[in-house]
Amino acid sequence: MKQNFFKVLILIGLVISFLGFSVYTQAKPSGELKSDIKSQSPELNPHILDLGLEAYNKAAKKGLAKKHYLTIIDFTKPSDEKRMWVIDVDHHKTLFHTLVSHGKGTGMRWAKHFSNSFGSKESSLGLYQAGNSYIGHRGYSMRLIGLEKGFNNNVFARAVVMHPAWYVSDKMAKSLHRIGRSYGCTALSPKVSKPIIKTIKDGSLIFAYYPDKKWLNNSKFL
């Protein structure tokens, strides 16, 4: 009898542990989280933060959030302004705020055109999952997995990745009032690319925003 009793207790414990994990992965970002991030990152548009957290929550419910980090890219800002934030959702902290490039086909200083097409040299919108890291011809880089069909699901096959680039720097931003452009990749300053990639790789979420009506009206995460 005692053995059966202990077996039942163990089974109940396993069920509770499983349910606890499920609740964690599906928990909605709290109002306190939004307030904390807004106070730490006043340059981050509150509406875009809300949309990013909404997308994070819906993706988490689908089991797509493998890590508790959310990266937000605001393509409404010019390239010479810091427009990428890495947020620790669990601990309510902004870990990084930095410059990020857009594709050659997307625009010069301002991002205006976005595409999911091969050969476009344009950036893509929507929610991504951070892939694995690797050493490429530009150094320590990270693959990207597009989660939105028709908007960014071709990025992996297009070899659109996150990588360091010499043309992303504060000095260039100040002198030229823009930074260099990629072939659609999310290029970062070599000073911060490695710690950022090490933090978000292997399953965190990335939200690339622009007020494109077609994407906003059709995204399954918004």
What confidence tens digit (pLDDT) does each residue in 7-63 have?
433 344 433 333 343 333 444 567 899 999 999 999 999 999 999 999 999 999 999
**Tell me, what's the pLDDT at 179?**
98
Instruction: Give the pLDDT score at 12.
Output: 40
Q: What is the pLDDT of residues 107-164, one digit of tens each?
A: 999 999 999 999 999 999 999 999 999 999 999 999 999 999 999 999 999 999 999 9
Residue 120 lies in a domain: yes
Residue 23 falls inside a structural domain = no
In a domain, 128, yes or no: yes
In a domain, 55, yes or no: yes
- Let me know if residue 73 belongs to a domain: yes
- Three-state SS string over 125-183 comes to CEEEEEEEEEEECCEEEEEEEECCCCCCCCCCCCCCEEEECCCCCHHHHHHHCCCCCEC
Give residue 54's domain range.
Answer: 29-218
Question: For the segment 163-217, what is each residue's pLDDT rounded down to a tens digit?
Answer: 999 999 999 999 999 999 999 999 999 999 999 999 999 999 999 999 999 999 9
Note whether residue 98 is domain-resident.
Answer: yes
CA–chain centroid gap for 89, Å, is 12
